[in-house]
Structure 1
């Protein structure tokens, strides 16, 4: 395979997925589960910079040893908690949601947690990986529409993000397959009511189709 060509197509998807909104202070930083530990690093950074007084980590998927810098299998929320504590976030500022196993459930289970804890948060910063920001936004517009929110991720280019992932043991192939899977979901999930429709430029869709032809289809929804 021509790696330069793969990177060209993948960069188009990355730049499209990374919907960027200006940060604003909030009541809570709401972090959706992920296999990428830099998501927790960024949430801790936002907390330490005073953007919100609380963090919610949502994610019930149990990750194997080492995948989120963990030494024993842990849920995404639990592993993110450890990372945030190591970054100086006090435990009393963190809430854990350990049931969600997909993006929609992150929102549903977190709203349940807020109700159970009688927390009247109204403004949120939603944090995810750069290439999941557009789908996070589109899903929140359905599942979290009663709240004010912005979506955010650690600032990265495609190249710097891939380098960061490789340093964490996350392969480029996994990242690209995740990006094609997310674009497919943006296309088909509006009809299921899971998220709002988003315009997908022809150039981005063509890049997606080419990446599928090259074998990056490991995370397609059925």
Structure 2
């Protein structure tokens, strides 16, 4: 990757972060994926006392269905258990295959358990903070939500990425695809609208032109 393209990718990385400050909440909702560091971040937050309930949401998604045979949430929950989270404080939603379903199926699961958390900490990959917030507020607008992720810099995240099946170029392509979805998904009813600064969109177009287009959604 050239210095110029790295600079463009960093613009997307920074935009995807919404930099919420942590607040104590009723539940921590971990949106599962191929990134096991997200499981560790969720467990750490629980063990630090930010919320009394830890929810893992994820079946097999577009990427993980080619990597694993068990639901993401089951794998993530085992990581939390090994880290010392009590089993009785964990809920698992293992059917969802995208972010909207993560939120919707978690909402249904909590209703079935007669649980009604009012405030959530959502834990997601660093480059999916903004899209997770926009999706949660569309699906469950009456709840208060803040979003966080593993606390790594762009370069550290790429160099220490926890899943060797994905290269740094793959991660950048996923970031590009997520920005496209931030722009197009509100019109589909999947997310609330998010402003995209012009320089961020220019960076997106430069990365697409350079070939980081493997995770774009069909238009």
TM range (shorter): over 0.9
Structure 1 segment 1-222 matched on structure 2, within 5 A: 2-61=1-60, 63=64, 73-165=69-161, 167-169=162-164, 170-222=166-218
Distance in 2, matches of 1:19 and 1:163, equals 22
Distance in 2, matches of 1:4 and 1:138, equals 31
Instruction: Deviation per CA, 1:192-217: give whole Å up to 9, x if none.
Output: 11111111111110110010011111
Query: Offset of 1:149 from its aligned partner?
Result: 1.2
Partner-residue secondary structure (3-state), 2:160: helix
* Residues 30 and 122, structure 2, Cα contact 8 Å, conserved in 1: yes
| TM superposition score normalised by structure 2 | 0.94
Instruction: Deviation per CA, 1:115-158: give whole Å up to 9, x if none.
Output: 11111211110110010000011111111212111111121211
Question: Which consecutive unaligned segments of at least 5 residues does structure 1 have?
Answer: none
* Residues 26 and 119, structure 2, Cα contact 8 Å, conserved in 1: yes
Partner-residue secondary structure (3-state), 1:15: helix
Count of residues in Structure 1 that have an aligned counterpart in Structure 2: 215
Distance in 1, matches of 2:111 and 2:57, equals 15
| TM superposition score normalised by structure 1 | 0.92
Distance in 2, matches of 1:7 and 1:160, equals 13
Distance in 2, matches of 1:155 and 1:34, equals 17
CA RMSD of aligned residues (A): 1.5
